[in-house]
């Protein structure tokens, strides 16, 4: 089973938490699935979950080179020099990021409101940067944009490999059918005697 979820803001990327913490359990009433990779609580967007442990590890492992696409709303408007630094790799002190894609984009027309909204300062505009990474260190995008002088105010992951949000609203999910990327096919082969599940795609809103 492979599930695509639009993780809302301020939801932990796990199914259990301390009292008062929001978790994936409020969005996804499907037992036995686990996130393949993570999103910080203050990040939003695409999360892939599966009940296949080997597939989970392969999706999350950078060696399989599934590009991850993020939209970052940043404080200020990065110039070409700042974008070039992001593309070339940024020295964050404990590691240097790999080369990546980085470009200015318009605010997406499909963007949902965030609750609470981002902080805004009248004298400083905001802009959107699309970043395409093939790694995922802790708070990497936020650290990268801050390092080049443009702190991230809002972060949304919109794509992992060929999988995208595809119109999912925050908290909505769908079971994904169809072929996996070639690098992941070996992990997805059904066990002997086990028939693969039928193709189906659907979405549900959390209760």
pLDDT at 55 over 90: no
What is the value of pTM for the model shown? Answer: 0.86
Query: So what's the pLDDT on residue 194?
Result: 47
Percentage of the chain exceeding pLDDT 90: 65
Burial tier of 51 (Cβ tally within 10 Å: 0-12, 13-18, 19+): middle
Query: So what's the pLDDT on residue 56?
Result: 83
Query: So what's the pLDDT on residue 178?
Result: 67
Beta bridge partners of 121: 124
Average pLDDT, the chain: 87
The CA distance from 202 to 146, in Å, is: 38
Residue 100: pLDDT band (50, 70, 90) is very high
Cα within 13 Å of Cα(77), Cβ side: 6
Q: Please enumerate in sequence order all residues whose Cβ is within 8 A of that of 133, keeping only pairs 6 or more positions apart, or say none.
A: 67, 68, 70, 97, 98, 100, 140, 141
pLDDT at 186 over 70: no
Question: Would you call 51 a catalytic residue per the annotation?
Answer: no
Residue for token digits 């993020």? 70
The one catalytic residue in 40, 42, 51, 61 is: 40
């Amino acid at each position: 089973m492979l599930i695509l979820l639009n993780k809302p803001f301020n939801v932990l990327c796990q199914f259990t938490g301390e009292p008062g913490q929001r978790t994936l359990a409020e969005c996804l009433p499907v037992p036995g699935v686990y996130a393949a990779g993570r999103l910080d609580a203050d990040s939003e967007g695409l999360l892939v979950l599966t009940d296949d442990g080997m597939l989970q590890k392969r999706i999350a492992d950078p060696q399989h080179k599934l590009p991850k696409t993020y939209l970052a709303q940043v404080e200020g408007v990065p110039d070409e020099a700042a974008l070039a630094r992001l593309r070339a790799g940024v020295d964050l002190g404990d590691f240097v990021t790999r080369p990546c894609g980085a470009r200015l984009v318009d605010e997406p027309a499909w963007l949902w409101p965030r609750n609470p909204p981002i902080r805004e300062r009248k004298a400083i505009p905001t802009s959107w940067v699309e970043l395409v990474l093939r790694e995922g260190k802790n708070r990497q995008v936020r650290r990268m944009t801050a390092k080049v002088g443009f702190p991230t105010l809002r972060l949304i992951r919109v794509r992992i490999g060929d999988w995208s949000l595809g119109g999912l609203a925050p908290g909505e999910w769908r079971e994904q059918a169809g072929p996996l990327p070639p690098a992941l096919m070996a992990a997805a082969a059904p066990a002997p005697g086990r028939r693969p599940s039928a193709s189906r795609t659907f979405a549900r809103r959390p209760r």
